[in-house]
C-alpha cells in the first residue's frame, strides 16, 4: 500500500550525469519547478544560486567513476524550501576562506551567508554524501476576504521600525584595495 505525502508537501528529484552541463540543467529544471510552485522571485533566485554552487561542487569534487549520477532533490513543505544534492563521494565539504586572488572556493561561504540552514551528511544506506540547504518561503498574500480592513490595521498599532540587522540578501560592501 503506497504511503501518502503530508498535505502541503511538494517534492521533485532529478538525476543528472556528473558533467559540467548538469549544473545549468539543474538551474533550468529548478526555475521551471519554482514557477510551478509559484515561489517568490527572491527565493527562486537565491535557491538557483545555491543549487548551482552545490551542483558545481558535486561535479568538480566527487572524484568517482564515470557513469555515477548527481541527484538534486527539492522539497517544499511547511513554508520552507529544502534543496539537497547527493553525489557518490564520501568526503564531506568544509567551508574555507578563499584568498582574494583565488577564482574559486567561495561556494560554501555563499551557502552559509544566504541559507537559513545547511548541512552535509553521509548517505545512510549507500555510498556518498548529501549536502543540503533550506530557505524560508513566505506564504501567499492574504486574499481580500481575509485581509484586515484599513480601520483594523490602524487600530492594530503596527508601526514600521528600521532593523539594525544587516540584510540577509543583497550585495556585499566593496572592500578597499
How much is the average pLDDT of 122-134?
A: 91
**CATH fit for domain 10-136, picks 2.130.10.10, 1.10.3720.10, 3.40.30.10, 3.30.565.10:** 3.30.565.10
Number of H helices, E strands in the chain: 4, 5
Q: What is the per-residue pLDDT for 68?
A: 77
Average pLDDT of the chain?
A: 76
Going from N- to C-terminal start, the domains of the chain cover 10-136
Q: What is the per-residue pLDDT for 70?
A: 92
**Of 43 and 166, which is predicted with more confidence?**
43
Dihedral (C-alpha) 114, 115, 119, 124: value to the nearest 10 degrees?
-140
Strand (E) or helix (H) holding 36: helix 21-37
The model scores a pTM over 0.75 = no
How much is the average pLDDT of 19-29?
A: 94
Amino acid at each position: 500500500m503506497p504511503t501518502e505525502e503530508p498535505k502541503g508537501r511538494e517534492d521533485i528529484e532529478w538525476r543528472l550525469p556528473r558533467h559540467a552541463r548538469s549544473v545549468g540543467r539543474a538551474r533550468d529544471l529548478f526555475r521551471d519547478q519554482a514557477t510551478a510552485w509559484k515561489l517568490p522571485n527572491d527565493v527562486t533566485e537565491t535557491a538557483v544560486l545555491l543549487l548551482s554552487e552545490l551542483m558545481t561542487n558535486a561535479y568538480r569534487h566527487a572524484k568517482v567513476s564515470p557513469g555515477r549520477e548527481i541527484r538534486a532533490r527539492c522539497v517544499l513543505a511547511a513554508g520552507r524550501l529544502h534543496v539537497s544534492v547527493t553525489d557518490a563521494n564520501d568526503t564531506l565539504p568544509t567551508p574555507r576562506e578563499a584568498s582574494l586572488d583565488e577564482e574559486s572556493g567561495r561556494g560554501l561561504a555563499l551557502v552559509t551567508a544566504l541559507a537559513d540552514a545547511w548541512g552535509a551528511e553521509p548517505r545512510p544506506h549507500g555510498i556518498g554524501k548529501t549536502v543540503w540547504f533550506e530557505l524560508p518561503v513566505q506564504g501567499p498574500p492574504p486574499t481580500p476576504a481575509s485581509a484586515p480592513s484599513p480601520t483594523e490595521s490602524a487600530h492594530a498599532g503596527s508601526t514600521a521600525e528600521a532593523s539594525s540587522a544587516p540584510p540577509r540578501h543583497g550585495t556585499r560592501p566593496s572592500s578597499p584595495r
